[in-house]
Amino acid sequence: MNRGLKQLLPTSRRLLNSRSNAIVSCAVRSARVSRFEQQRLFTQSVIRPISFKGIFGGKPANEEKKLILEQDNLFHVLSKSPLPEMRDRAAIINKYGVCPVCDTHHTEQEHKKKPVYDCPDCGYPTHCNEEHYHQGKEAHKETCAILREINEDDHDLRSGRPMREFEFPTAQGFDEAVNMANWDVLFYTRSFPSMDSDRSMRHVSKLLTYPLTIASVLHQASPYKYGEQVTAEGMRSIAALRTILYPHNQVTNDASSQIRTDTINVYLVGARAEATLPSHIWLQLAYLFPATPFHVHFIGPDALAPNQEPHTKSVNERLSFTYDNAMYHDYHEKIAKFDPFTDLFFMFSPGIGHEGARNSWKPSIEKALETKCPIFITGYDEADMKNDIEAVEQDYQGEFDWVMKPSVNEFRSLKRDVNMLDLRQSIFANYGIWAIRGKRYDVTHDPESNE
Ligand SMILES: [Zn+2]
Ligand SMILES: [Zn+2]
């Protein structure tokens, strides 16, 4: 199942050549890049990568991959790396980054010099010159350790070694007990082969965070419990979905393999990179619920490459995908009916609270709230979650109930993504999770009747 793993982050060459680069360069060139704008760029270019394509694209099967780097040779100064993508990354940082010592001591842009001095310990271009490197060395210590790990991880990912950790288990038996407390026990109880190092877990969790975050809220062995993270209203929503996912009453031992429940629809609103994950990554969601077919809807302007038409495809009888680049509120009108027993929403790091995005999210969130189906939302750190939550509390006051209180996501990416515009910032994709649902009014209650 190793499909020629080439690159994990759509950084380097893609960022240099693609539309992301256009975004980065035009905004960064203008001297007045606001803090918000930087954050947006960071989000778009790094945290919410447009695409994971290229990870599994690889070369044709007949072209044998050569081992480029041995396991004891994974650390390289980026600008001198044997891998062109890593040298490109250094070039991007040289061009768009900032020296943290200059940044701390000056407010005017013209005094903030570019990082062109390579730190010998992490291999990243961190400071403008050797003097500032020594001056900022103590403050750089923590970042340095993080960058060193990313350096070795990314060289490992492109080293040409067989990536056995990406050989995933297939369908799960009806009686197989899965523990979903966290990545460790999931990998163990689902018998993932070769998940024997922290590095392997970082590589794999970066991709599996999307399907497994969804699975973790639906699964009966969910790490999120009623009365802790899940509210009473939330438990009603989740219990409704579980009546479909776990049709215990109909199951008899012999017929169990024949059971097919209703299809669960997962609407991924504002889908980006998750829409480019290969189907075998998404199959891990379906495998955890042996009785239930899943239909994943990737909706939003970045859900498709610009030259692609909206379409639906079936991976097998258990999993199908719809890709549509419409705004969610337009797509919503195409769906005949929403049902809280079979439908749920997920928004991965939507940035609802970001100044520039807040208003454009409104029609879509209003439509999603109308359905009364649960809406799960992730954020890449505490501040990102807080920002989105504040916006939701202000803009939809009285229109929603809490389903799940903001919590650390057990199935977050374990691999850090670093902001190439400012190496001091790094995040974990899907770090936290929370959920809401459109408020249900008691339909039997008629205020008119009291008068
Ligand atoms: Zn400097
Ligand atoms: Zn360093």
- Domains along the chain? 12-157 (no CATH), 174-438 (3.40.50)
Range in 187-201, 243-257, 380-394 with the lowest mean pLDDT: 243-257
Can you give the pLDDT at residue 103? 94
Query: How far does the centroid of ligand 1 lie from the alpha carbon of residue 283, in Å?
Result: 48
Query: How far does the centroid of ligand 2 lie from the alpha carbon of residue 319, in Å?
Result: 44
Query: How far does the centroid of ligand 2 lie from the alpha carbon of residue 147, in Å?
Result: 7
Q: Are strands 343-347 and 125-127 parallel, antiparallel or unpaired?
A: unpaired
Phi, psi dihedrals of residue 271, rounded to the nearest 5°: -65, 140
Judge whether residue 57 has pLDDT over 70. Answer: no
Going by pLDDT thresholds of 50, 70 and 90, the confidence category of residue 55 is low
Q: Which residue has the tokens 């909206």?
A: 310
Judge whether residue 107 has pLDDT over 90. Answer: no
Which residues touch 424 (CB under 8 Å, ≥6 apart)? 100, 143
Q: Which residue has the tokens 């012999």?
A: 254
Can you give the pLDDT at residue 364? 97
Reference 270, options 382, 391, 363, 406; nearest CA is: 363
Can you give the pLDDT at residue 48? 47
Query: How far does the centroid of ligand 1 lie from the alpha carbon of residue 39, in Å?
Result: 22
Query: How far does the centroid of ligand 1 lie from the alpha carbon of residue 99, in Å?
Result: 5
Phi, psi dihedrals of residue 427, rounded to the nearest 5°: -140, 170
Judge whether residue 222 has pLDDT over 80. Answer: yes
Check residues 169 and 53 and name the one with the higher pLDDT.
Answer: 169
Mean pLDDT of 417-445: 88
Mean pLDDT of 337-345: 97
Which ligand is closest in space to the CA of residue 99?
A: 1
Query: How far does the centroid of ligand 1 lie from the alpha carbon of residue 105, in Å?
Result: 9
Judge whether residue 70 has pLDDT over 80. Answer: yes
Query: How far does the centroid of ligand 2 lie from the alpha carbon of residue 117, in Å?
Result: 10
Number of other CB atoms surrounding residue 126 within 10 Å: 27
Query: How far does the centroid of ligand 1 lie from the alpha carbon of residue 106, in Å?
Result: 10
Which ligand is closest in space to the CA of residue 148?
A: 2
Query: How far does the centroid of ligand 2 lie from the alpha carbon of residue 75, in Å?
Result: 12
Query: How far does the centroid of ligand 2 lie from the alpha carbon of residue 154, in Å?
Result: 16
Mean pLDDT of 318-323: 96
Going by pLDDT thresholds of 50, 70 and 90, the confidence category of residue 449 is very low
Q: Give the bridge partners for 346, in sequence order.
A: 268, 376
Q: What is the DSSP letter of 303?
A: S
Structure tokens given for 443: 């339909």
Can you give the pLDDT at residue 420? 92
CA distances to 3, 34, 106, 249, 285 from 171, in Å: 20, 48, 57, 22, 10
Query: How far does the centroid of ligand 2 lie from the alpha carbon of residue 422, in Å?
Result: 13
Which ligand is closest in space to the CA of residue 115?
A: 1
Range in 83-97, 171-185, 364-378, 397-411 with the lowest mean pLDDT: 171-185
**Which of helix, strand or coil describes residue 306?**
coil
For residues 44 and 354, what is the distance between their CA atoms, to the nearest angstrom? 12
Query: How far does the centroid of ligand 2 lie from the alpha carbon of residue 143, in Å?
Result: 7
Check residues 108 and 212 and name the one with the higher pLDDT.
Answer: 212
Which ligand is closest in space to the CA of residue 75?
A: 2
Q: Are strands 264-269 and 343-347 parallel, antiparallel or unpaired?
A: parallel
Q: What is the rounded (10 degree) CA torsion for 239, 244, 250, 253? A: -100
Can you give the pLDDT at residue 297? 98
CA atoms within 13 Å, Cβ hemisphere of 327: 11
Mean pLDDT of 263-274: 96
Strand order in the sheet with 375-379: 311-316, 319-324, 294-299, 264-269, 343-347, 375-379, 432-438, 400-408
User: Averaging pLDDT over each range in 100-114, 254-268, 359-373, which range is the top one?
Assistant: 359-373
Judge whether residue 64 has pLDDT over 80. Answer: no
Average pLDDT over the chain reads: 84
**Cβ atoms 351, 379 nearer than 8 A:** no
**Cβ atoms 369, 400 nearer than 8 A:** yes
Check residues 376 and 174 and name the one with the higher pLDDT.
Answer: 376
Judge whether residue 18 has pLDDT over 70. Answer: no
Mean pLDDT of 175-194: 88
Judge whether residue 86 has pLDDT over 80. Answer: yes
Query: How far does the centroid of ligand 2 lie from the alpha carbon of residue 131, in Å?
Result: 14
Check residues 78 and 167 and name the one with the higher pLDDT.
Answer: 78
Query: How far does the centroid of ligand 2 lie from the alpha carbon of residue 419, in Å?
Result: 15
371-423 per-position pLDDT tens digit: 999 999 999 999 999 999 999 999 999 999 999 999 999 999 999 999 999 99
Q: What is the DSSP letter of 230?
A: B
**Cβ atoms 411, 190 nearer than 8 A:** no
Going by pLDDT thresholds of 50, 70 and 90, the confidence category of residue 65 is low
Q: What is the DSSP letter of 46?
A: I
Query: How far does the centroid of ligand 2 lie from the alpha carbon of residue 114, in Å?
Result: 15
For residues 195 and 188, what is the distance between their CA atoms, to the nearest angstrom? 9
Can you give the pLDDT at residue 71? 92
Judge whether residue 325 has pLDDT over 70. Answer: yes
Reference 88, options 194, 188, 12; nearest CA is: 12
Query: How far does the centroid of ligand 2 lie from the alpha carbon of residue 351, in Å?
Result: 30
For residue 390, the Cα-to-chain-centroid distance in whole angstroms is 21
Structure tokens given for 291: 């009785």
Query: How far does the centroid of ligand 1 lie from the alpha carbon of residue 41, in Å?
Result: 22
Which residues touch 91 (CB under 8 Å, ≥6 apart)? 16, 79
280-317 per-position pLDDT tens digit: 999 999 999 989 999 999 999 999 988 899 999 999 99
What DSSP line would sit under 325-343, residue for residue?
-S-HHHHHTT-S---TTTE
Query: How far does the centroid of ligand 2 lie from the alpha carbon of residue 149, in Å?
Result: 11
For residues 181 and 152, what is the distance between their CA atoms, to the nearest angstrom? 28
Can you give the pLDDT at residue 75? 97
Judge whether residue 27 has pLDDT over 70. Answer: no
Going by pLDDT thresholds of 50, 70 and 90, the confidence category of residue 59 is very low
